[in-house]
Amino acid sequence: MTLESTISTHTAFVYMMVLVSASDSEMTDNELKSMGSIVRSLPIFADYDPDRLVDDAETCAEILDADGGLEAVLGLIEEAIPDSHHDTAYAVACEIAIADGHLTQEELRVLEILRHGLDIDRLIAAAIERGIVARNRALSE
């Protein structure tokens, strides 16, 4: 059995959130809270046990720390998420990227890599990104 066939779609979504959060070498409290909120509230996670979130996140971090870890995690994500859910996956990644109120160059780069890896059309990506920004805008902005 290959590594690619060992994770569920839910776990791939978690890996994607961890990848975006860890891209700037800092997983902020807001990003971690956002991950928990997403897992508890989005329909995509309805069949996922939220108690697995920490274990899945730690496993992803371990893979990322290994040689070739980024490529391995990207491969797992691309293999486990069905084409029909690529846009949802990209939206979840964008939610994590914006969770701490600003986007770093590293986060933008990872979003670009994910967009290409998931074959998200640039116009669809722009619409998702704009929607996430609008959804997270405070009244004072």
Digit-coded pLDDT (tens) for 38-64:
999 999 999 999 999 999 999 999 999
- Average pLDDT on 64-80 reads 94
Q: What is the DSSP letter of 117?
A: H
Residue 14 CB partners (closer than 8 Å, separation 6+) = 35, 39, 52, 53, 56, 57, 60
Q: Is the pLDDT of residue 1 over 60?
A: no
**What structural domains does the chain harbor?**
3-135 (1.10.3680)
- Percentage of the chain beyond pLDDT 90 is 78
pLDDT-derived band at 141 (thresholds 50, 70, 90) equals low
pTM flag (> 0.85): yes
